[in-house]
């Protein structure tokens, strides 16, 4: 059997003029027997991240049972890359909050969220995690975990079916795939404050406001 050897040549910098030129080079490599995939580094990183989302399970009531059902052979969420769960927040990509959160439990959840490395995500599973569920009128229940931590995906239901949990995780995958780490703003980055064409932080803005207030007070006198 004849083995077709690929023809690989160096690509001078001036060859990178436009997409048509790049596509022509890729076509030449394909004809030479080289398999080439063209994309941005963001796409490669986010492809890997979106297909290996490790969750910190935070199940406090019945919705946690549905999460266990999703991991069994019938639904098999390993095919999406969700099968790895971690008991350490430092090794997890997201918190899967399933169940009622009381005011006594809220500081614990916030501490776990703070211990996770960026980028990190939160998925609220079930009515109790979203709004307090049937216990929302109770004095000791938090009316939605979005009062404690920012939530990326809400999965409604009491409890939600395994298919709904799969769909919610797929929406999180979509969110991860459009994030940018090079040449763009991340999800967690805050919008810059622009004053007179310059970007300033909150401390500087506060100081400017105090100076303006003092000036206004002096003028009024």
Where residue 216 falls among pLDDT bands split at 50, 70, 90? very low
As a whole number, mean pLDDT of residues 184-192 equals 52
Q: Which pTM value belongs to this model?
A: 0.64
Q: Does residue 192 register a pLDDT over 50?
A: yes
Predicted pLDDT at 187: 47
Residue 77 CA, chain-centre distance (Å), reads 18
Where residue 219 falls among pLDDT bands split at 50, 70, 90? very low
Predicted pLDDT at 148: 86
Domain ranges of the chain: 53-173, 193-221
Q: Which fold has domain 53-173?
A: Rossmann fold (3.40.50)
Q: Does residue 189 register a pLDDT over 80?
A: no
* Strand ranges across the sheet with 55-59: 85-86, 55-59, 94-98, 121-125, 153-155
Give the closest residue to 159 by CA, choosing from 128, 121, 122. 128
Give the closest residue to 36 by CA, choosing from 6, 69, 64. 6
Q: Taking the CB of residue 204, how many other CB atoms lie within 10 A of it?
A: 13
> What tokens were used for 83?
């099968």
Predicted pLDDT at 127: 85
Predicted pLDDT at 158: 84
Greater model confidence, 170 or 34: 170
Q: Does residue 35 register a pLDDT over 80?
A: no
Q: Does residue 88 register a pLDDT over 80?
A: yes
What digits encode the pLDDT tens for the residues 39-55?
667 777 778 788 888 88
Torsion angle of C-alpha atoms 138, 104, 144, 180, degrees rounded to 10 = 180
What digits encode the pLDDT tens for the residues 127-164?
888 888 788 788 888 888 888 888 888 888 888 888 88
DSSP string, 78-119: GGGT---EESSGGG-SEEEEES--BTTTHHHHHHHHHHSPSS
Give the closest residue to 81 by CA, choosing from 194, 176, 179, 8. 176
As a whole number, mean pLDDT of residues 114-122 equals 87
């Amino acid at each position: 059997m004849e083995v077709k050897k690929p023809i690989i040549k160096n690509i001078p910098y001036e060859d990178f003029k436009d997409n048509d030129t790049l596509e022509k080079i890729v076509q030449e490599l394909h004809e030479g027997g080289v398999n080439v995939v063209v994309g941005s580094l963001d796409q490669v990183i986010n492809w890997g991240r979106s297909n290996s989302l490790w969750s910190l399970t935070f199940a406090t009531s019945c919705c946690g049972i549905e999460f266990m059902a999703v991991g069994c052979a019938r639904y098999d969420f390993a095919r999406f890359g969700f099968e790895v769960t971690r008991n350490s927040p430092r090794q997890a990509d997201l918190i899967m909050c399933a169940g009622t959160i009381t005011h006594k439990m809220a500081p614990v959840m916030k501490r776990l969220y703070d211990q996770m490395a960026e980028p990190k995500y939160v998925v609220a599973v079930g009515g109790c995690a979203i709004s307090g569920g049937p216990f929302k009128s109770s004095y000791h229940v938090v009316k939605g975990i979005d009062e404690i931590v920012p939530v990326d995906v809400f999965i409604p239901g009491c409890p939600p079916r395994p298919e709904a949990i799969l769909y919610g995780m797929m929406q999180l995958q979509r969110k991860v795939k459009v994030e940018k780490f090079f040449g763009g703003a991340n999800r967690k980055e805050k919008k810059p404050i622009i004053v007179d064409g310059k970007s300033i932080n909150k401390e500087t803005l506060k100081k400017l406001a105090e100076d303006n207030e003092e000036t206004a007070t002096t003028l009024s006198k």
